[in-house]
C-alpha cells in the first residue's frame, strides 16, 4: 500500500508510519476484503466492472470506533479498485441529549466523503415507550434500522452496511445460546424482511481490539455510545466478560470459536428441522435381503 499524498484516500491522511500500524491496517483491509468475497457481497456484474451493474451501499456511521474503521477500510478498497461499488456514508442523529451534531458532518466534509446526515428524534419515542430502569438499546436499534432502510431506498442503495465486527458476532451467538435458547448470531449478509435490501457486515472477520487500535491511531473524533444514559444490557456485558476471561486464559480462543460458526455440522446437532434424522439409514440395511446367509469371504 503506497502512502504518498497522491496515492492515498483523505481518510488515511496523516496515518502513522510505524511498522506496527502498517501491519494492523493491512490486516484489517485484508480481512474485510476476505469477508466481502467469502460472503459474496458484490455480484458478478460489478466484479467484472460493468458500470450499469455497480451497486450503491449506505455505510452507516455512528461515530464509534467500529463505524470509523468500516468507513475507512471500504474507501481504501474502493480507492484501490478492489470494491466496485458507490459508497454513501450516513449518520442518523436520533436526538440523544448532548449529541455533538457537528462532529460527523465536519469530519465527512473534510475527508471528502459523500454523505447524508439525517435527524429523527427517536430518543423521545424510546423514552416514552421504555419503562424506567430498562435499557433503551433494543427499541432504539429497531427505530434506527427502520429509518436507515428508508434512507437507503430514498438514495437508491441496494445495501445497508453496518460496522459489527467479529466480537459482536460472537457475543450475539452466546447471548442467544445463554438467554435465547437458540443457535444464532448476526449474519454477515442477509436480506431485510421486506426483501428489497441487503444488510452487510464487512468487518465480520475483524477483531474489536484491532478496530480500537486503528481508530485511536488515526485519531478519529469518537462519539461515545452512552449519550442517552442507557448502556447495552447487563447480559451482554456479562457475556463479554466471559469471553474476555477465556481469551486471557487461552489466547486465540475467540478466533477458534468464530471459526466454529463457519463449520456447523447439522447432523451433529439436535434440530430435526435442519437435518433429516428420520431419513437416516444404515449401510447394512442393503444386506437385509440376504439375512441368514454367511457372507462370502474375499
Q: What are 156-214's pLDDT values in tens digits?
A: 999 999 999 999 999 999 999 999 999 999 999 999 999 999 999 999 999 999 999 99
- 227 has a pLDDT exceeding 60: no
Distance CA(140)–CA(127), nearest Å, equals 10
pTM (predicted TM-score): 0.87
Q: For the chain, which domains are there?
A: 10-276 (3.40.50.620)
Distance CA(206)–CA(31), nearest Å, equals 6
Q: pLDDT band for position 285 (50/70/90)?
A: low
Distance CA(25)–CA(217), nearest Å, equals 10
Share of the chain above pLDDT 90, in %: 67
2: left (phi over 0), alpha (psi -120 to 50) or beta: beta
Q: pLDDT band for position 2 (50/70/90)?
A: very low
Q: In the chain, where does DSSP find H-type helix?
A: 19-38, 44-47, 65-79, 103-110, 122-129, 137-154, 166-175, 208-218, 234-249, 253-261
Q: What are 45-98's pLDDT values in tens digits?
A: 555 555 556 899 999 999 999 999 999 999 999 998 999 999 999 999 888 888
- 264 has a pLDDT exceeding 90: yes
- 103 has a pLDDT exceeding 60: yes
Highest mean pLDDT: which range of 112-121, 134-143, 203-212, 219-228? 203-212
In the numeric block, the cell 455533538 is attached to 100
Amino acid at each position: 500500500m503506497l502512502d504518498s499524498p497522491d496515492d492515498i484516500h483523505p481518510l488515511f491522511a496523516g496515518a502513522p508510519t510505524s511498522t506496527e500500524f502498517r501491519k494492523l491496517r493491512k490486516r484489517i483491509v485484508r480481512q474485510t476484503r476476505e469477508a466481502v468475497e467469502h460472503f459474496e457481497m458484490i455480484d458478478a456484474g460489478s466484479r467484472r466492472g460493468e458500470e450499469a451493474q455497480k451497486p450503491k451501499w449506505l455505510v452507516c456511521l455512528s461515530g464509534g470506533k467500529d463505524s470509523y474503521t468500516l468507513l475507512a477500510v471500504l474507501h481504501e478498497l474502493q480507492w484501490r479498485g478492489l470494491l466496485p461499488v458507490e459508497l454513501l456514508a450516513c449518520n442518523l442523529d436520533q436526538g440523544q441529549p448532548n449529541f455533538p451534531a457537528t462532529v460527523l458532518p465536519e469530519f465527512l466534509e473534510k475527508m471528502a466523503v459523500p454523505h447524508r446526515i439525517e435527524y429523527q428524534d427517536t430518543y423521545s419515542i424510546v423514552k416514552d415507550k421504555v419503562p424506567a430502569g430498562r435499557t433503551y438499546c433494543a427499541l432504539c436499534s429497531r427505530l434506527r434500522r427502520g429509518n436507515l432502510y428508508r434512507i437507503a431506498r430514498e438514495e437508491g442503495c441496494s445495501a445497508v452496511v453496518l460496522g459489527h465486527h467479529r466480537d459482536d458476532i460472537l457475543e450475539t451467538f452466546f447471548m442467544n445460546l445463554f438467554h435465547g435458547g437458540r443457535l444464532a448470531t448476526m449474519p454477515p449478509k442477509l436480506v431485510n424482511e421486506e426483501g428489497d435490501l441487503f444488510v452487510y457486515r464487512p468487518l465480520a472477520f475483524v477483531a474489536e481490539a484491532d478496530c480500537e487500535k486503528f481508530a485511536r491511531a488515526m485519531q478519529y473524533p469518537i462519539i461515545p455510545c452512552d449519550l442517552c444514559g442507557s448502556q447495552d444490557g447487563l447480559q451482554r456485558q456479562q457475556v463479554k466478560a466471559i469471553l474476555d476471561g477465556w481469551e486471557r486464559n487461552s489466547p486465540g480462543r475467540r478466533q477458534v470459536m468464530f471459526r466454529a460458526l463457519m463449520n456447523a455440522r447439522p447432523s451433529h446437532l439436535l434440530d430435526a428441522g435442519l437435518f433429516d434424522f428420520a431419513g437416516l439409514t444404515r449401510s447394512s440395511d442393503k444386506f437385509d435381503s440376504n439375512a441368514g446367509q454367511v457372507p462370502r469371504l474375499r
